[in-house]
């Protein structure tokens, strides 16, 4: 199977932001996203190119344009948020929130968006698919050469726990405190073709992999390969999908800057003839679990020798390494926001503190998430959970 990879301008960036709609009074997920998307289509036969429906009718996905700078992509998203808010206010009393999971809504109360693709997914995956009440952010970074895609994907897997821990925002699931910083990470990988990518030697090997899945009826096309990090041939990008949804534009900008800088840094090293280091797959898998379980308190494996380090310490040093890249790309301010995120605590930590202060009332967590979304910046710093391995 031949899969064309559309070459993009190097290190251009685009962001997708999955956002949940909740009832303002109850905090429950609200099935009104379809009405919003339809209204914003402005009577066009095709859906709005930047405001789209998702698997469940409680979700809208906002898609930025292609930009050289992260700030431009974030500005796009904020403009789309305002348009969505106008339509929601016409419909009733609703709020927007974004986290990796909803604290207490139940899967059996949700409505499926009426698309053949989604019906096929749920028919095949049943209970696991029905439980996909999850939200994330996806960051696309342009590649100027198709043959960079898989080496950069492999190299990026060493930084998967950094991104997962930084964005972790799903400590609750259906009313239960799970003990995980990112329960979404482990839920999503239950779907066929989701989770960590397979080691593939080159683009031809990727084409054979997709061809095998199409031939055996697992997928219809390469867009149904739902890896945590994947090539996106249609756009000519590396797409990082591992991150939980985050509530604020500041956090989205920080995560997007980190991804853009990492990809550009690796692209430059390939241009200079360097072979990117790659962690053993078993280390990558262990790192993913540790980041999902412990978030910013995770000790991760940082090299092929098995060196372990606290993910926050490694993130701070990584930001320092990437400063020259960020200055070249025009995202230095957004990259420094990573340090502020580490100081303020991740969303999962803030949610746990709100729940504890409210005596376990998870409605207050939804109120907190809605407030952060409106304010555009994280709330007050929480107390930290005990460090564990």
Angle value at C-alpha 292, between 305 and 20, nearest 5 degrees = 145
Look at 118-127, 156-165, 306-315 and tell me which has the smallest mean pLDDT: 118-127
| Predicted confidence (pLDDT) per residue in 167-186, tens digit | 999 999 999 999 999 999 99
Is the predicted pLDDT of residue 8 greater than 90, yes or no? yes
User: What whole-number distance in Å separates Cα of residue 314 and Cα of residue 252?
Assistant: 20
Strands 237-240 and 137-142: antiparallel
Q: Is the dihedral of CA 367, 370, 371, 377 positive or negative?
A: positive
| Predicted confidence (pLDDT) per residue in 275-285, tens digit | 999 999 999 99
| Predicted confidence (pLDDT) per residue in 235-258, tens digit | 999 999 999 999 999 999 999 999
**Total-model pTM:** 0.95
Class of domain 13-375: alpha beta
% the chain with pLDDT above 70: 96
**Predicted local confidence at residue 43, as pLDDT:** 59
Band of residue 386 on the pLDDT scale cut at 50, 70, 90: very low
| Predicted confidence (pLDDT) per residue in 334-348, tens digit | 999 999 999 999 999
**Predicted local confidence at residue 45, as pLDDT:** 64
The secondary element (H helix, E strand) that includes residue 86 is helix 70-91
Residue 309, by phi and psi: left (phi above 0), alpha (psi -120 to 50) or beta? beta
Contact (CB, 8 A) for 63 and 49: yes
The whole-chain average pLDDT of the chain stands at 94
Average pLDDT over residues 56-71: 97
């Amino acid at each position: 199977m031949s899969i064309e990879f559309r070459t993009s301008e190097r290190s251009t960036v685009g962001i997708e932001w999955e956002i949940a709609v909740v009832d303002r009074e109850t905090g429950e997920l609200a099935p009104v996203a379809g009405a919003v998307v339809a209204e914003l289509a402005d009577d066009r036969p095709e859906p709005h190119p930047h405001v789209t429906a998702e698997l469940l009718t409680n979700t809208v996905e906002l898609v930025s344009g292609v930009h050289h700078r992260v700030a431009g992509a974030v500005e796009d998203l904020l403009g789309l948020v305002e348009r969505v808010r106008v339509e929601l206010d016409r419909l009733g009393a609703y709020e927007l929130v974004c986290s990796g999971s909803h604290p207490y809504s139940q899967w059996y109360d949700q409505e499926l968006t009426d698309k053949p693709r989604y019906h096929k997914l749920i028919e095949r995956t049943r209970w696991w698919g029905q439980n996909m009440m999850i939200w994330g952010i996806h960051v696309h970074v342009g590649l100027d050469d198709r043959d960079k895609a898989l080496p950069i994907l492999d190299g990026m897997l060493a930084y998967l726990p950094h991104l997962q821990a930084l964005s972790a925002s799903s400590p609750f699931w259906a009313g239960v405190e799970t003990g995980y910083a990112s329960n979404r990470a482990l839920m999503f990988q239950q779907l066929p073709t989701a989770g960590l990518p397979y080691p593939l030697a080159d683009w031809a090997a990727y084409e054979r992999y997709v061809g095998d899945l199409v031939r055996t009826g697992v997928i219809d096309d390469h867009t149904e390969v739902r890896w945590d990090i994947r090539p996106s041939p249609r756009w000519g990008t590396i797409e990082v999908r591992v991150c939980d949804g985050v509530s604020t534009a500041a956090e989205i900008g920080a995560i997007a800057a980190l991804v853009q800088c990492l990809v550009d840094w690796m692209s430059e090293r390939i241009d200079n003839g360097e072979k990117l280091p790659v962690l053993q797959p078993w280390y990558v898998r262990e790192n993913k679990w540790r980041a999902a379980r412990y978030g910013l308190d995770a000790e991760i494996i940082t090299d092929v020798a098995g060196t372990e380090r606290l993910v926050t310490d490694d993130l701070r040093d990584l930001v320092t390494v990437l400063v020259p890249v960020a200055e070249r790309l025009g995202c230095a301010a957004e990259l420094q926001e990573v340090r502020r995120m580490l100081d303020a605590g991740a969303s999962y930590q803030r949610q746990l503190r709100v729940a504890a202060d409210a005596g376990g009332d998870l409605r207050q967590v939804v109120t907190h998430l809605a407030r952060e979304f409106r304010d555009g910046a994280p709330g007050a710093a929480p107390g930290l959970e005990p460090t564990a391995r």
